[in-house]
Amino acid sequence: MGQAIVTLFIISVLVFSLARLSGDPINVLVSDEADEDRIQQVRKLWGLDRPLYVQYFSFVKNGLTGNFGDSLAYKGYSAMGLVGERLPATLQLAGLSLAIAIFIALPIGVLSAVKKDSPFDYASKIFGLLGQSLPQFWLGIIFIWVFGVMLGWLPTCCKGGFSHIILPALALGYYQVAALMRLTRSSMLEVLDAEYVKMAHIKGLPRWKILWKHCLRNAAIGPLTYLGIIIGILFTGAVAIETVFAWPGLGLLAVQSVQSRDFTVIQTIALVGAVLVIAVSLVIDIAYAYLDPRIRYT
């Protein structure tokens, strides 16, 4: 818990500082014809005339109550209101991408380890290498061109029915599939070479029982710890994917906010994302202790 608080503090300082590097928000709040008196009046209204450290402490104080201020670009909307409105779309996209990664990567990784050096193993390694090499935004563009433009099978933008989320979820999830598959394979190979697994074979236990009871639970420890990293990658990757597919989530909102110098929304997106990632990481740590009892006693 202490590490989580320190992490949030560091993130809040970085976000507060970096958000102001995008430019002076006063250019968004007033017209080009505004005189100096009007500019100073608006600065005072939004608290931009105060020293940065005062603005930071005010930001932290208000943030603890969920009040990050009003959006500078979206008149009549609070920053938290905008984030809350867009968050479900990002969670849907990230959730489906994670499900795709788990249900594809784990079976392929296990089978690849069991059939080591077979044609299937070589094919899966090439599949994984490509997944970790291709940029997500480029993959998204290729998916649009092939499945949307050439074949016309799936819609290529915006949010609608289930068919609208398939291409962005595949583009976002392919990297996760590749990384999780390679990690599962390496963990499974390590477990298969363990002495207790060899002893189980000597005892004549059925192969499926050895794999399911003795191998999978221990091999799952490595991929499980990586899930916390995957959650962070999904949120950062969503920025590019949501922009390419015009998916109305936090990633697209972040890009629009940077372009409009809406630092209140930028700060809110970053901190809400950080809280979600930290919360998921804590849950994963608990599950990790359940799978590996040695962690409970260290």
The CATH number of whichever domain residue 255 belongs to comes to 1.10.3720.10
Say whether both 242 and 98 belong to one domain. Answer: yes
Count of domains observed in the chain: 2
pLDDT for res 297: 47
Any residues with CB less than 8 A from the CB of 193 and at least 6 apart, and which?
none
Residue 259 belongs to a domain: yes
pLDDT for res 131: 84
Say whether both 171 and 228 belong to one domain. Answer: yes
- Per residue in 182-213, pLDDT (tens digit) is 888 888 887 777 776 667 666 666 766 667 66
Say whether both 242 and 172 belong to one domain. Answer: yes
> Model's pTM, two decimal places?
0.78
Residue 156 belongs to a domain: yes
**Cα(108)–Cα(8) distance, integer angstroms:** 36
pLDDT for res 46: 72
User: Low-confidence residues of the chain, pLDDT below 50?
Assistant: 297
Residue 194 belongs to a domain: no
pLDDT for res 213: 66
Say whether both 174 and 246 belong to one domain. Answer: yes
Length of the chain: 298
The residue segments making up the domain with residue 115 are 85-187+216-297
Say whether both 167 and 245 belong to one domain. Answer: yes
Residue 54 belongs to a domain: yes
pLDDT for res 292: 60
Residue 80 belongs to a domain: no
pLDDT for res 50: 78
Residue 50 belongs to a domain: yes
Say whether both 27 and 128 belong to one domain. Answer: no
CA 10 to chain centre: 19
pLDDT for res 291: 61
**Cα(53)–Cα(169) distance, integer angstroms:** 40
